[in-house]
Structure 1
């Protein structure tokens, strides 16, 4: 089920532990459908990957955040036997192996993988012989499965970011795009490159209008701020997310950078891209999420992560009588009801509001 196995190395002396934990995480997500265990295994693997020395026992591993007794027991079993009984059983299950393989395809979730298995598909090779079972996104995901799984070196991720930002600036210098996730936290390689995009003409108040449609009784979109004023200079030039995202994607398509579309909504685009130049030969999946301008820096903070850093910062926000999420920072009233979003024009301002020492993105991998 695991995409590849690596031995302990100087860069990650606990790589083999991380491998089996991530394989267990995939099983829990795709086969058992237990997201709680999935997240627990991934959190433990993340803590082990950042630990600078080799862990020699479960009790030693338990000193790390996110490593509980059951995971520590698995580490002890692996140290003593060089294998894991639970993984042996998983690998002996035709259904588990098939679902793990099929779930590698972009657009094929656990439910679709089970459906394919029920239809007699047990491998990627068999799936390639049954194209009628896949939609457009899944067909492209199957075509590029190996390329999408390849890690993206930091130098290439930086080139992707630079190319997208320069092409959007040529279209309209008011576009702003940021690559978040582990790349922004300084990782040497990334699994994907996800862009957050914004423009002053698109605010949460603009976003709410199409969400409401013609019904006066329809609830506002999640995270919207109905009474918040648009960014300075944007009121007279309001644009919907669909207009702005479509223009941005068309610009990148015209340059030949985006080669295929996986899906395209009003505020989220997923596609396939390839950097120009002979040195770039691997197609990458590109995700572009358009965020209202007044919510952009809360989104940048949230999608930069890490998950543990976000959890700690949200807990601190509550202590300071604020509620913080990917959309807004809001003060809590005397009854605990969130008030209107406070204006945020940078990540640093969020830290200042919360009286929380600023941490640069590369200091947030907890």
Structure 2
């Protein structure tokens, strides 16, 4: 699936899946609703249904069977029935024949071009990638880079390439005076053979072992660990180092804690989208859990957390009191701590492909 401002790369992989044809039409509907219809609710409903079918071990034989799966409603079940009966979907046939829909979808292939920008370009008479290349002044820096590497970003990244890149990143980071821990999240961490982009989480390693918090006063430990994270130039130094080592080729954006850019393993491999997040020690494990996904697994886990009296996000897990107000973040030394707090059996990353 092509890359775009709507991130369809995040859709489930269909290769070899027993329900690949059903997943594909749901993905296409999700993309349409996001880019053309600009209905995030409908788009997310189709994405959820696609994710559910992607993890279902059997071939779906009817809409009724699909509707029994959590995350698939009656309306989507009816579309599945129509597709199984006819081999097509009337709504999709109309969408594919609509020039406006086709143009907006084409423009949104470019990383950084979302639904609003695609519509703006279309209203200005730009309907194809070729026309867009002839009008670079209409694009932001991010969008120009997305256009430059359009075809490369659309290629799936083999697992072996990410493994090699992980090794290169670790070698580069070893040159820093700070000991840095690195985790590549997303579908790669969940064991998938291909990925759409590369999500890297970093943290100062010495403050992650959990030993300090067991012997120090919590307030003292929090203050000390917080100071380790006050180096506003750390991520900038990391990116500079990766540029010198010819791993990072382009920067889309760079802040104190988040980098969005482009990387390349070697001259023989395509350019890839790379996101790096620098997290504080008390946020790292919640961040790893969240950015590992899948999205559907995260949704289920947040629901379990709420039922158990906690609120969970990518930054922290906090108890919710009788008044409904969340308390202070709880100490987390590993992902298992989060599962234990909410009374949920631990799932290995490869078991989170929902």
The TM-score normalised by the length of structure 2 is 0.88
Counterpart Cα distance in 2 of 1:47 and 1:194 = 23
1:154-208 deviations in Å (ceiling 9; x for gaps) = 11122222222231123245212211122111111111111122226999xxxxx
What stretches of structure 1 of length at least 5 have no aligned partner?
204-226
Equivalent of 2:165 in 141, 160, 167 = 160
Q: Which has the higher contact order (CA 8 A, sep 6+)?
A: 2
Shift of 1:119: 0.8
Equivalent position of 1:281 in the other structure = 269
| Alignment check: 8 A CA contact 2:186 2:199 kept | yes
RMSD of Structure 2 on Structure 1 (CA): 2.5
Change (3 A) 1:142 1:236: closer
**Residue 151 of structure 2: which of 146, 152, 164 is its match?**
146
What are the superposed Cα offsets for residues 275-321 of structure 1, whole Å, 9 maximum, x if unpaired? 03x6x421101011222221111111111122232222222223332
1:185-196 aligned within 5 A: 185-196=190-201
Q: Are 1:47 and 2:35 matched, yes or no?
A: no
Q: How does 1:1-366 map to 2 (within 5 A)?
A: 11-172=16-177, 174-199=179-204, 229=220, 234=225, 237-240=228-231, 242-276=232-266, 280-366=268-354
8 Å contact from structure 1 (residues 29, 38) kept in 2 = yes
> Which consecutive unaligned segments of at least 5 residues does structure 2 have?
209-217
| Offset, 1:332 | 2.4
Number of aligned residues: 337
Q: Residues 14 and 54 of structure 2 are in contact (CA less than 8 Å); yes or no, is this contact kept in structure 1?
A: no
Distance change in 2, residues 1:235/1:26 (3 Å): closer
Between 353-362 and 97-106, report the one with greater CA deviation. 353-362
Using the TM superposition, give the Cα deviation of residue 250 of structure 1 relative to its aligned residue in structure 2, in angstroms.
0.7
Q: Please give the TM-score of this superposition, normalised by the length of structure 1.
A: 0.85
TM-fit CA distance, 1:70: 1.3
CA gap 1:247/1:181 in 2 versus in 1, 3 angstroms: same
Assess if the C-alpha contact under 8 Å between 1:192 and 1:286 holds in 2. yes
